[in-house]
Chain A
Amino acid sequence: MHNLRKASKFRLFFFISFLVLEFGPPAGGWNFEFRPSTARAIDMSSEYYKIKDTGLSIIKDQDITKDINITGIMGENYLTQFTSFGFSIKSGLSYLKGTDPFTFSLAAMKIEFPQTKNTGPVTKSLQLIIKNGQVPGYQIFTGQLSPFTTNFTLNLPGQPPFTPPDISKGNKPYTLLSSNLHNITKQTILNFSLTLPKGKEKISYQNQISIVALPKY
């Protein structure tokens, strides 16, 4: 009786293992990571989107003609007025009402293209999120680092594709987004397109790009 129960447990385990092996692993297999869960940009739907509140540095009344240190995250408000013969230090924004910090997110830091033969451009996309709190607008720039290629283009939905400039040689970066709005959470998709170079049958290629988010002043 005991052996029979043991045998049925084995049968059950065999059956479950078979199901898991047959239907379970996705292409490329599973990838387990044993570490605390993290908020990932790729998961930033409204349900998961979470930005921590922070404060701004505020200085105490001090004489700016002397050396001073601004320390202590104290809250939301702008600065101190301390005017010693017209000298001052101000940290933050005078009309700041909220405490949301300036936040920039990219869903991935590597865009992988298939290595198979291609007849046309291969397009992949990247989710990009910016949250500017009460900051008066923001700008997002992009440019290519070495190696530079013209077979590579980027575009935002509804905008024409462009080849990111080679910023490693001092060229000005391309302004992807510019806004004057406050308290905005902008979520968009950046499309990456790689075209097969002439005379080549297969793409095998790597490049590097930089994406910079700056608040307006």
Chain B
Amino acid sequence: MQNYNSKFKIIFFIITFNFSLLTFNLPKAFAQSYSLSLTPSLTEIIIKPDKSVSQEYKISNNADPLTLTPQVIPMQINRETGEIIGPTNTTTASDGQSWFSLENQDIKLNEPFFLNSGQSLKLILKIDIPADVDPADYYFHFLLGSSLPPTDQTTATYITGTIGSNILITVSRLGTLNRTAEITEFDIPFLIDTFDNPKLIIKLKNTGSAFLKARGTITLENPLSSTKYNILPQNILTKSSRFIQTTESLKEKHETNSTLTIKKFLFGPQRITSTIKIEGTNIVLTKSSYVLALPYKAILIITLILGIYIFLKSRKLT
């Protein structure tokens, strides 16, 4: 029996040794994931030269530990659409980048720091506007980019993930801003089908020298009723255009690429009026258009069926 136990002890030892060798001594599979949350997504500043502002950001790491590098780079936009042109990797020091610094003791701009999994951190971004800066608009992205994962000899693509927040700054000596705008597009078909959801497109161009917000309403009127839609106060950057949106867009679940999708049963003549107020000014831009809503598709189908029926009946009679 003693001999029997010794054999089992040897087998036990061998199995334990092999098990450990197989499991604990393997090269670690690298499958790091990335999930970051950043808030606020937007900071708007109208400030005098020679003043400073500190903005607190909260970054949360919802996935694996990461090394992140905070960075501020100028924002570039497509002037026709207002869409952001993404950041390149060759952004050099340009207007305004030297204005930014972090007030955190142990974290500096353009220097990597470690953020553990599940950890949240407050970053305090200080913006110092120099005394001699030209009064104008300056737009930036505050970015937090991950470092490249460790490389090895495998054939692989290594990914850096970056999340950002936007900073819009208007530098003004007196606080009196030149805000002007014009409606450059107001588009809806004249004839719409009663059973369709017609799309209204309104494009606004900021012709002033400071970013602005459009507010106001879009009214849909017919002899029997009137419906109002509120305009969503979105920023339009200087010398650029953007489609305005209504608060209805907050409920949209599919891309519409329009100002408003009218989801109402419409019949007969309708008048659509946009009344756009430029925030912080007395400017009100108004534009109207008439549309005729008829069930023309249904009328066409019924006419076609009737035509075929009459044609067949007349042939039968002859």
- A123-159 vs B, CB cutoff 8 Å, 1 = contact: the mask equals 0001001000111100101010100000010000000
Q: Which residues of A contact B252 (CB under 8 A)?
A: 181-182
Contact call A36/B24, Cβ cutoff below 8 A: no
Cα distance A38–B55 in the bound complex, in angstroms:
29
B90 located at the interface, meaning its Cβ lies under 8 Å from any Cβ of chain A in the complex: yes
B46–chain A nearest beta-carbon distance, Å: 5
Scoring B residues 202 to 238 as 1 if CB is less than 8 Å from chain A, else 0, what string do you get? 0000000000010000000000000000001111010
By the criterion CB–CB under 8 Å, are A89 and B44 in contact?
A: yes
**B side interface size, CB within 8 A:** 106
Interface centre among A52, A57, A113, A175 (most CB of B within 10 A): A57
Q: 1/0 per position for B22-58, CB-CB distance to A under 8 A?
A: 1110101111111111111111111110011111111
CB distance from B240 to the nearest CB of A (A): 11
Q: Is the CB of A112 within 8 A of B154?
A: yes
Tell me whether B63 and A183 are in contact (CB under 8 A).
Answer: no
* Interface of B: prevailing SS: mixed
Question: In the complex the two chains form, what is the Cα distance from A111 to B149 in whole Å?
Answer: 11
- The answer to whether B35 touches A71 (Cβ under 8 A) is no
Chain B residues, CB < 8 A from A204: 155
User: With an 8 A cutoff between CB atoms, is B191 at the interface?
Assistant: no
* B213 proximity list for chain A (CB < 8 A): 94
A189 to chain B, nearest CB (A): 14
Q: Mark A77-91, 1 if CB is under 8 A from B, else 0.
A: 000000011111111
Q: How far is the CA of A98 from the CA of B2 in the complex (A)?
A: 72
Q: Is the CB of B37 within 8 A of A102?
A: yes
Q: A7-B4, A29-B23, A182-B250 are in contact. Are A206 and B156 (CB under 8 A)?
A: yes
- Please provide the chain B residues from 282 to 303 with a CB less than 8 Å away from any CB of chain A in the complex: none
**Smallest distance from the beta carbon of A36 to chain B beta carbons, Å?**
7
Q: What's the A-B contact tally at a CB cutoff of 8 Å? A: 355
Minimum C-beta distance from B136 to chain A (A): 15
Give every chain A residue within 8 A of B4 (Cβ-Cβ): 3, 7
Which chain B positions have C-beta within 8 A of A86? 46, 172, 174-177, 280
Measured CA separation A162–B19 after assembly (Å): 46
Q: Which of A55, A57, A105, A194 contacts B34 (CB 8 A)?
A: A105
Cβ-closest chain B residue relative to A133? B41
Q: Are A172 and B88 in contact (CB under 8 A)?
A: yes
Say if the beta carbon of A23 comes within 8 Å of chain B: no
- How many Å from the CB of A185 to the closest CB on chain B? 11
Task: Find chain B residues with CB under 8 A from A180 CB.
Answer: 243, 245, 249, 255-257
- In the complex, chain B residues whose CB is within 8 Å of the CB of A110: 30-32, 149, 156-159
Residue of A nearest to B139 (CB): A217
Q: Which of B79-87, B106-114, B262-270 contacts A (4 or more CB under 8 A)?
A: B79-87
CA distance A55 to B56 in the complex (A): 11
Does residue A54 face the partner (Cβ distance < 8 Å to B)?
Answer: yes
Cβ contacts under 8 Å, A29 to chain B: 22-23, 26
Question: Judging by beta carbons under 8 Å apart, are A7 and B8 in contact?
Answer: yes
A108 to B52, CA, bound (A): 39
Please give, as numbers and ranges, the residues of chain A lying within 8 Å of B89 by CB-CB distance.
143, 145, 167-168, 210
B33 touches A167 (CB 8 A): no
Instruction: Determine whether the beta carbon of A25 is less than 8 Å from that of B23.
Output: yes
Q: Would you call B5 an interface residue if the criterion is a C-beta within 8 Å of the partner chain's C-beta atoms?
A: yes
Collect the chain B residues with CB atoms within 8 Å of residue A57's CB: 40, 55-57
Per the bound structure, the CA–CA distance linking A111 and B141 in Å amounts to 28
| Residue interface bits A43-61, CB-to-B below 8 A is 1, else 0 | 0100000111011110000
Q: Look across to chain A and name the residue whose beta carbon is closest to the beta carbon of B86.
A: A141
Q: Select which of A69, A101, A111, A192 is within 8 A of B38 by beta carbon.
A: A101
| A69–B51 CA distance with the chains assembled, in angstroms | 11
Asked if A84 and B155 make an inter-chain contact with CB atoms under 8 angstroms apart, the answer reads: no
Contact B29 A31 (CB under 8 A): yes
Contact B232 A95, beta carbon cutoff 8 Å? yes
Residues of A contacting B271 in the complex (Cβ-Cβ under 8 angstroms) = none
> Which residues of chain B are near A69, meaning CB under 8 Å?
53-54, 124
**Cβ contacts under 8 Å, A172 to chain B:** 85-86, 88
Shortest beta-carbon contacts, A-B, top 4: A141-B86, A86-B175, A10-B8, A105-B35
Q: Which residues on A are within 8 Å of B, measured CB to CB?
A: 3-4, 6-7, 10-11, 13-14, 17-18, 20-21, 25, 28-32, 36, 38-42, 44, 50-52, 54-57, 64-73, 84-95, 97, 101-115, 126, 129, 133-136, 139, 141, 143, 145, 152, 167-173, 175, 178-184, 192, 194, 203-217
Q: List 8 A-B contacts (CB under 8 A).
A: A10-B5, A20-B19, A29-B23, A39-B63, A71-B56, A73-B58, A109-B34, A206-B158
